[in-house]
Amino acid sequence: MNQDISETKALFDYVLKFDLNSIPDLNKILEKYNFNHISIDNLLHLVSSRENILIIDARSEKEFDETHIPGSFNFPVLKNKERHNVGLIYKKYSPLASIKLASEYADPKIQDLKEFLKINKTQSKKIIVYCWRGGGRSKYLSKMITDCGFEPIILEGGIKSFRKAVNEFFLKEFPYRLVELSGLTGTGKTDLLRAVSDEIPIIDLEFSARHFSSLFGFVPYKIRMFTPVVNQSAFENEIFSQIITQQYKLEKHNFFLIESESKKVGEYFIPENIYSKMLDASVIISHRNIEVRINHIINDYFGSDNRGQIEMLGIFIKKERFFRQELSNKTYEFLLECINKNDTYMFTKMMINEYYDKKYKEKGKTPLTSICTDDIPSAKKELMKFLNILLLHPDCKTHMTIYLPSHL
């Protein structure tokens, strides 16, 4: 606390030396720049058309982590502490002093900006810049980018306009057909979903949440150093972005393939318009040999070098009361011993038999077909053949016995 007070005192001692009469306002600083602007609708059209664009978020790191346009890159005009200081001076002393302080923070970043633009191969791309509302920070960063020899375009309304578009989309009826990929834990649903994503439009809810939708679901992403999704808005942004960026695939396939889930993925709720559509979706079942399932889960949750063991043990101990109720005291003690001894095979096998296969049962839908996922490349071929046939039977919701022509 004392350090914060001393830092704040030093900050005010510094800005009190500014000659306020000699400080130009932001409009004066930017008056020679004639920036182009783009609406959120036109930006989304560029994204769905797969235009070669670079989207830059000018906000602080903290703001970017909380929510951002998926696919954008963060170049903070003001970093976290700098933004705090500028806001403090604006509120407690002088807007003009805050502008000078902000420019002193921003201008030395020009060399880093040049390197950032070079790394992102900006020469061949349209540059879109946004901040919170499309105001000061996006304009100042656009000034800096212009000074580097480029012609940036500012997103009107900033991230707020994007969030408005996301909210409006999820308040309407979901406009696309869904085909659901279901199956027991460890049957490779996610792997199969991603394997066909080069051709089939998919909605990957688990990637959108960075969570495998189970009590241990964050572990596979954490041990692989993925940045977590921190709130519901960021989760929805990810889903919306997947839908927008795959519009071109809908020209051939008139549906999205989606993995079966309950209402929540980790801490986040699936948007209601998608979840209600999932309830009525046709379903394809994945199945695989128990040994393949065990090895698959071990690799996902523990990793090839067992780096997930500490995380898994921590959750198992933290949720002790829950697991004792679900499994019995004896089973819990045995599983705790297994994980402490790094017996990941027995731990996983017991969890499948005694917990997951009992708790997470099929939804009772009659599947269109069932696909063995022991080998994902083979399963992909089988699924692609079936989905191409399904295009010819768009209203089918019950099991089809299909004899596939050899040329498919």
Determine, yes or no, domain membership for 401.
no
Determine, yes or no, domain membership for 296.
yes
pLDDT at 393: 62
For residues 186 and 153, membership in a common domain is answered with no
Q: Which domain holds residue 226?
A: 174-390
pLDDT at 401: 37
For residues 127 and 252, membership in a common domain is answered with no
For residues 52 and 199, membership in a common domain is answered with no
One DSSP character per residue, 226-268 reads: PPPP-SHHHHHHHHHHHHHHTGGGGGT--EEEEE---SEETTE
Determine, yes or no, domain membership for 395.
no
Between CA 249 and CA 156 the distance in angstroms is 28
What are the tokens at 124?
Answer: 């061949």
Between CA 157 and CA 11 the distance in angstroms is 31
For residues 152 and 185, membership in a common domain is answered with no
Residue 282 sits at φ, ψ, to 5 deg, of: -65, 150
Q: What is the pLDDT along the chain (408 residues), one digit of tens a residue?
A: 455 889 999 999 999 999 999 999 999 999 999 999 999 999 999 999 999 999 999 999 999 999 999 999 999 999 999 999 999 999 999 999 999 999 999 999 999 999 999 999 998 899 999 999 999 999 999 999 999 999 999 999 999 999 999 999 999 999 999 999 999 999 999 999 999 999 999 999 999 999 999 899 999 999 999 999 999 999 999 999 999 999 999 988 889 999 999 999 999 999 999 999 999 999 999 999 999 999 999 999 999 899 999 999 999 999 999 999 999 999 999 999 999 999 999 999 999 999 999 887 766 789 999 999 999 999 999 999 999 887 766 565 544 433 333 332
Determine, yes or no, domain membership for 72.
yes
Query: Residue 119: helix, strand or coil by DSSP?
Result: helix
For residues 103 and 183, membership in a common domain is answered with no
Count how many domains the chain has.
2
For residues 297 and 211, membership in a common domain is answered with yes
Q: Are 73 and 120 in contact (CB under 8 A)?
A: yes
> For position 186, which CATH number holds?
3.40.50
One DSSP character per residue, 34-99 reads: --EEE-HHHHHHHHHTT--EEEEE-S-HHHHHH---TT-EE--SS-HHHHHHHHHHHHHT-HHHHH
Final residue belonging to a domain, choices 117, 136, 166: 166
pLDDT at 388: 87
Determine, yes or no, domain membership for 137.
yes
What are the tokens at 180?
Answer: 């659901």
For residues 14 and 33, membership in a common domain is answered with yes
pLDDT at 392: 64
Determine, yes or no, domain membership for 397.
no
Upper half-sphere CA count for residue 7 (Cβ side, 13 Å): 9
pLDDT at 117: 97
For residues 180 and 317, membership in a common domain is answered with yes
pTM: 0.90
Final residue belonging to a domain, choices 145, 166, 187: 166
For residues 119 and 80, membership in a common domain is answered with yes
> For position 120, which CATH number holds?
3.40.250.10
For residues 22 and 150, membership in a common domain is answered with yes
149, 151, 77, 154: which is closest to 114 by C-alpha? 149
Q: Which residues contact 376 (CB under 8 A, 6 or more apart)?
A: 188, 191, 192, 195
Q: Which residues contact 115 (CB under 8 A, 6 or more apart)?
A: none
Per the listing, tokens 């999704």 go with: 229
Cα-Cα-Cα-Cα dihedral sign, residues 297, 300, 305, 307: negative
Final residue belonging to a domain, choices 125, 144, 166: 166
For residues 151 and 197, membership in a common domain is answered with no
Q: Which residues contact 204 (CB under 8 A, 6 or more apart)?
A: 190, 193, 194, 197, 242, 259
For residues 315 and 207, membership in a common domain is answered with yes
What are the tokens at 356?
Answer: 């997951």
Determine, yes or no, domain membership for 405.
no
